[in-house]
Amino acid sequence: MDIKGKKFTVVGGAGLIGSHTVEELLKEDVAEVTVFDNFTRGSEENLENVINDPRLKIYSLGANIMHPDHLDAAFKGVDGVFHFAALWLLQCYEFPRSAFDVNMAGTFNILEAIINNGVKKLVFSSSASVYGDAIREPMDEDHPYNNQNFYGATKIAGEHMCRSLYKRHQNSEKHFDFVGLRYFNVYGPRQDYHGAYIAVIMKILDQLEKGISPTIYGDGSQAYDFIYVGDCAKANIAAMKSEATDEFFNVCTGQQTSILELAKKLLDMTGSDLELSFQEADQMFVKNRIGCPQKAKEMMSFEASMKLDEGLKKLIEWRNSHKEAVDRRRNSAKG
């Protein structure tokens, strides 16, 4: 899609990836960007860098993806939609019924509003959780669904709702295009404490601030593909601009880092001489995950550019300059 002069609605646009995508979108010559967010996890503070842009609108009538009439109102006259709204992994584990309602019924509501309002394209936030533990590496988009948690199940369902409704309407006046993005382990400024995997970064930094030896659960050999949130935002814009449709893409670096390596990097960056402590893991997640970035590079001209060390520095800088915001995120996770 040529996005010049177009209007977009960003569902979940005040969250981590959403707010960075809004910023990236407003660097383009677009006509209007509407943030549709209930501010449960996101915040207006996340939009502070663009809040004065006259093209930015915040839907203020009670943005809730469980309310189809509000989605219908928010999508009128819109050319493209980005969908980031979801309950996160641990919430899905603890509250599967709510996860079903939000992640699955909510996604259907968004698709229905897209179809009813003639929206041209959807970029859907999926997740590498659909893959589960690696059966082969690197994990390309044809890797089997090996997911074993409810969050991943809702993302698989979302992907197939997108595909099935696309197929149903592809030869009708209600035709829409879509692309699904499978993010790997996203980190960066505005990060909170809710992510099951990347929250370890914030928790280690908390412990270092207090002079406490950082805790590693297990032996630290669990290894993931960490992708900087700014790169995720660029991937979203690339997906909307691309001619690709009915496709899913990894958003990853192709580089794998263990939790032990990550912890040592944080010790080095903060100048700490504390020793790491190890505890038995009380809940096991995916142990090994590295993505193949080739399809995204070939079909939508996206390639991650942020190196892990530089991205961690940017996260630490944001954290040090947003102490109150970090405290609120920490307290929210406790609650």
- The verdict on 135 and 284 lying in the same domain is no
Q: Which of 158-162, 213-217, 244-248, 267-271 has the least mean pLDDT?
A: 213-217
Paired tokens of 36: 């549709």
- The verdict on 30 and 158 lying in the same domain is yes
pLDDT at 326: 82
296 within a domain of the structure (yes/no): no
- Residue of 59, 131, 151, 187 marked catalytic: 151
Supply the angle between the helices 229-241 and 16-26 in degrees, to the nearest 10: 60
300 within a domain of the structure (yes/no): no
Structural domains counted in the chain: 2
Annotation says 193 is catalytic: no
What pTM did the predictor assign?
Answer: 0.94
Cα distance between residue 144 and residue 133, in whole Å: 10
Paired tokens of 120: 């041209």
What is residue 2's three-state secondary structure? Answer: coil
Cα distance between residue 304 and residue 234, in whole Å: 8
Domain residue limits at 268 = 189-225+255-289+307-334
Tally the C-alpha atoms within 13 A of residue 193's C-alpha that lie toward its C-beta.
17
What is residue 35's three-state secondary structure? Answer: strand
Q: Write the CA distances from 44 to 16, 158, 234, 270, integer angstroms.
A: 11, 27, 21, 29
Q: What CATH number is attached to the domain comprising 92? A: 3.40.50.720
Asked whether 225 and 198 are in contact (CB, 8 A), the reply is no
- The verdict on 317 and 234 lying in the same domain is no
Asked whether 222 and 287 are in contact (CB, 8 A), the reply is yes
The 3-class secondary structure across 76-131, one letter per residue, is: CCCCEEEECCCCCHHHHHHCHHHHHHHHHHHHHHHHHHHHHCCCCEEEEEEEHHHH
301 within a domain of the structure (yes/no): no
Residues 165-223: tens digit of each pLDDT: 999 999 999 999 999 999 999 999 999 876 666 688 998 999 999 999 998 988 899 99
Cα distance between residue 99 and residue 119, in whole Å: 26
323 within a domain of the structure (yes/no): yes
Q: What CATH number is attached to the domain comprising 204? A: 3.90.25.10
295 within a domain of the structure (yes/no): no
298 within a domain of the structure (yes/no): no
Of 181, 310, 161, nearest to 238 (Cα)? 181
**Count of residues making up the chain:** 335
Q: Mean pLDDT over all residues of the chain? A: 94
pLDDT at 41: 85
Check whether 285 has a pLDDT greater than 60. yes
For range 253-282, the mean pLDDT = 93
Residues 76-118: tens digit of each pLDDT: 999 999 999 999 888 999 999 999 999 999 999 999 999 999 9
Sign of CA dihedral 138, 89, 110, 40: negative
Paired tokens of 296: 């995204």
1 within a domain of the structure (yes/no): no
What is residue 218's three-state secondary structure? Answer: coil
208 within a domain of the structure (yes/no): yes
